[in-house]
Amino acid sequence: MKTLAELSDDLAHGRTTSRALVEHCLAAIDDSDGEGARVFLQVDREGALATADYMDGLRARGAAPSAFAGIPISVKDLFDVAGQVTTAGSKVLQGSDPAEFDAPTIARVRAAGFVIMGRTNMTEFAYSGVGINPHYGTPANPYDRATGRIPGGSSSGSAVSVADGMAAVTLGTDTGGSCRIPAAVNGIVGYKPSAHRVPLEGAYPLSASLDSIGPLGNSVRCCAAVDAIMARDWDGHVPTRDVRGLRLGVLKTIALNDLDAHVGSDFETSLSALSAAGAVLSDIEIPELNGIGALNTKGGLSAAEAFAFHREQITAQGDDYDQRVRQRIAAGAEQSAYEYLDILKARDDITAAADAVTVDYDAVVMPSCAIIAPAIADFAELDDYLRLNFLLLRNTAMGNFLDRCAISLPMHKPGSAPTGFMLMGAWDEDEALFSSAAAVEAVLGARRSA
């Protein structure tokens, strides 16, 4: 699938139509050798074709609602879409009433003319970075399908839908890395905004303190365009910026521990390429980050807030949950009120310390995940599940804890195991981060295609 800019230009100059794009995506979904049956929990075939024809008609009359009108998009199963049941990847919610209204994010992309292909699979209730779903099946990562590797989570189907050409872009959520992890292990771009910018209404919650809504796409500018439409606080235009003089802080605290050989090699090669291109790299330490682990021994903010939301549902239907998800949510019951408040206070203190160290940098950089996508079979035992889930989440979760914006870019060579290069910006500096990320993307993209 091309980038949004390329597809928009093709539509504007008559080289394609929205119907042709939608039919292409439907063919990818229907491919018996592909993962469409596990990527999508619901495909709106008739609605997508009808919307495509409508957008083609508007474009022919010069009345397209935006440059992106007619381009296919997929949406994670935790967003309310009017007339559809929001199951959040669970069996528990299958009998719920259909949503009466679109979530604000859905309404905004629909108003821009995007064609919604359907609802994508996810980790149940968005609670893991792995992407395994025992209820609806697990979509296999496009890399090494013979082995059958995880798609990353929790926006698993979302990422594979873009990587496999079933949609041009997709909407996900990110509470500890759920946009950036699947982007990293599937070889695409995933964005986590400063959380306050995109409205959370109509998205099934996990953690009120950490949840955010972000896009996944084929380029930094794809994600920027969709972010701007959802947030409505900027125009989405990312100016071209030279990487020369870009100030990047290479985080040494925690982020480089236990990297597998693929990730470590790709990250060092990427840093070398950026340095050669003129970026200014400096090693930085934020020792206060070492305290986050102790704060999460009972599940941290996400477990406490998830349990508060799920406790009655778990009591009534706990056996219908993915038991790994149920166990992690139930850990929130072990926290006392004072422990929860202590975490909130510590979060403020650690955030202030991190801000003081990073204030002079355009972005803090690190690998998105410490490991490549493991095989689905590697998660059979609970201890392995928890260990590998931690290695996938560890780096990305820092951005949520610190309430920063962050983005994952591909840094691997084509044909090799996908790995992600993450840039983390300051709170509410999303536009600046997109500009920095586009400059980095140009260097890494040139290296990957060399």
| Enzyme catalytic residues | 76, 154, 178
Our CA angle for 307, 311, 315, nearest 5°, is 140
Q: Taking a C-beta distance cutoff of 8 angstroms, is the pair 389, 131 a contact?
A: no
Peptide bond before 154: cis, by omega within 30 degrees of 0?
yes
Measure the CA–CA gap between 187 and 45, rounded to whole angstroms. Answer: 27
Rg (CA), the chain: 21
Q: Which residues contact 217 (CB under 8 A, 6 or more apart)?
A: 3, 4, 162, 168, 169, 170, 188, 189, 223, 226
